[in-house]
Amino acid sequence: MLCKTTGIMSSMQSDSSANVTFIRPATFFISDFSNIPHAKYYYVFLSLVYVVTVLGNSFIMCIIYLARRLHTAKYIAVFHLAFSDLCGSSALIPKIIDMFLFEHQDISYDACMANMFFVYHFMNLQSLTLLALAYDRLVAICFPLRYHAIVTKPAMFLIIGAMWILSVTFFSVLVGLVNRLSFCRSNVLNSYFCDYAQICRLACNDNSINVLIANISYGLLICTPLILIIITYFCISLALLKIAHGADRMKAIKTCTSHLILVAIFYLPVLSNIIASVTTPLHLNTQIINNSLTQAIPPMLNPIIYTLKTEEVMQSIKDLYKRSRVNITRERKMKCSRI
């Protein structure tokens, strides 16, 4: 499916100074699995993943909002992680289902750019929020007496605000740079969403700046936060070695468990996919399954892990349940007394 000026290629922009014609497709075509029978069942599975993701993250946000004991700086970051997970999944999975389950694989140029921005933006926020939670654990264990003075609610709101400014600015530039590319070969993207790397490969003019920004984005999304998290836990390990009592040490380690699991399920699949793609050529179908699951599964698991592995959250759920039962009983008694 070639990008000809008739039908597929609709708009051209002329750069008079360089005397270059830029060809922009009206639509991109997102390719599906090749030669896989019953591929639709995979998209049904992703639909179920999305339902669990929405319910789980909405539940954890409601618990944090309703439970006063969770109105702390740490749980502001947890709330933000759940919000980022929810928005990131909403930017990705419903569009995948619409394209492949209902065969709406043509996507307009502007819609493709918007899809690219939101998928990358919220994935980046997930990564940066995990870094903010690592900072919270660092201060809690290494500087316990100063924790409440350093990690305050205004400080956490400031950190989250800085994340948004950084991410929105960077990915606005990233997406904006696509407009300097000319597409004269094909408009078929061998991916499951509007993948920046795939779009750059379709360009028939110089894309060196776009490739440079793409490499920087990998550093921003994966390498830098992960390196900082590793450094954070190295410092935490040194602090734990200085704790004399084993019980106190285990209690401190337990507060890090849920966060370490979140870090593992977010970064390990991404790093595995990158290493696999560099070392061994993967079939397109394998790439689509690996990458889509890498983005879809962690947001589904995060609220489950925080609910089951965090005592404060479990206790808050129990307190809210008891409170609701007391309120229901009180209302019933009032109704009976009126009768």
DSSP for 273-336, written as a single string: HHHHHHHSPPPHHHHHHHHHHHHHHHHHHHHHHHHHH-HHHHHHHHHHHHHHHHHHHHHHHHHH
**How would residue 5 be classed by pLDDT, with cut points 50, 70 and 90?**
very low
What are 264-281's pLDDT values in tens digits?
999 998 888 888 877 777
Residue 339 has pLDDT above 80, yes or no: no
d(CA 182, CA 184): 6
Give a yes or no: residue 69 inside a domain: yes
Least-confidence region, from 101-110, 219-228, 242-251, 264-273: 242-251
Phi-psi region of 38 (alpha: psi -120 to 50; beta: other; left: phi over 0): left
Q: What is the mean pLDDT of residues 203-232?
A: 87
**How would residue 19 be classed by pLDDT, with cut points 50, 70 and 90?**
very low
What are 43-87's pLDDT values in tens digits?
899 999 999 999 999 999 999 999 988 999 999 999 999 999 999
Q: How close are the terminal C-alpha atoms of the chain, in Å?
A: 74
Q: What is the CATH number of the domain that holds 57?
A: 1.20.1070.10
Residue 255 CA, chain-centre distance (Å), reads 23
HSE-CB at 51 with a 13 A cutoff on CA atoms is 6
Residue 18 has pLDDT above 60, yes or no: no
Into how many domains does the chain fold?
1
Q: What is the mean pLDDT of residues 129-144?
A: 93
Structure token digits, residue 333: 């008694």
d(CA 133, CA 78): 8
Residue 180 has pLDDT above 50, yes or no: yes
Give a yes or no: residue 339 inside a domain: no
Q: In terms of Cα–Cα distance, which of 137, 139, 49 is closest to 86? A: 49
Give a yes or no: residue 338 inside a domain: no
**How would residue 121 be classed by pLDDT, with cut points 50, 70 and 90?**
very high
Give a yes or no: residue 4 inside a domain: no
Task: Name the pTM for this structure.
Answer: 0.88
- For residues 25 and 106, the answer to whether their CB atoms sit within 8 Å is no
Residue 257 has pLDDT above 80, yes or no: yes
**How would residue 246 be classed by pLDDT, with cut points 50, 70 and 90?**
confident
Give a yes or no: residue 334 inside a domain: no
Residue 242 has pLDDT above 90, yes or no: no
Share of the chain above pLDDT 70, in %: 92
Give a yes or no: residue 161 inside a domain: yes
d(CA 143, CA 90): 38
Residue 101 has pLDDT above 90, yes or no: no
**How would residue 20 be classed by pLDDT, with cut points 50, 70 and 90?**
low
Domain that holds residue 317: 9-328
Pairing status of strand 106-108 against strand 27-30: antiparallel
What does the pLDDT read at residue 120?
93
Which element (helix H / strand E) includes 21? strand 20-25
Give a yes or no: residue 154 inside a domain: yes
What does the pLDDT read at residue 12?
41
d(CA 197, CA 189): 10
**How would residue 7 be classed by pLDDT, with cut points 50, 70 and 90?**
very low
Give a yes or no: residue 337 inside a domain: no
Count of residues in the chain: 339
Burial of residue 244 (number of CB atoms within 10 Å: 0-12, 13-18, 19+): exposed
